[in-house]
Amino acid sequence: MRCYGRSGTEKGSTLLTSLVRLASGLKTTHMTLGNLQLVSQYLTILGNLALALHDTCQAREILRSSLTLAKKLYDIPTHIWVLSNLTCMYFF
């Protein structure tokens, strides 16, 4: 996916900023609400960002954690979302 009007450095810093904000949101969600389904969804988004930053090792670990939570909660939509991301990571 091309990002028109931004240089690669700007795009990378935007992704890193997003990653930091989502990570702090994940911590707040987990500690304040204790909503594991939302935590699983946050992890999936963080995994997507790690993939966008080409950090496949980190993305794989984050997505595996999200998949574990989705399985435990019987959250089929998140389960499918994580599996499609993992499939993209290995085949594209």
For 6, phi then psi, to 5°, come to: -130, 145
Whole-prediction pTM: 0.69
Nearest to 59, CA basis, from 89, 83, 20: 89
Q: How confident is the prediction for the chain on average, in pLDDT?
A: 80
Query: Contact 78/37 with Cβ under 8 angstroms?
Result: yes
Task: State pLDDT tens for residues 31-70.
Answer: 776 778 888 888 899 899 888 888 888 899 999 999 998 9
The predicted structure's pLDDT at residue 76: 94
Q: Using alpha carbons, list the distances in angstroms from residue 6 to 13, 14, 18, 55.
A: 11, 10, 16, 21
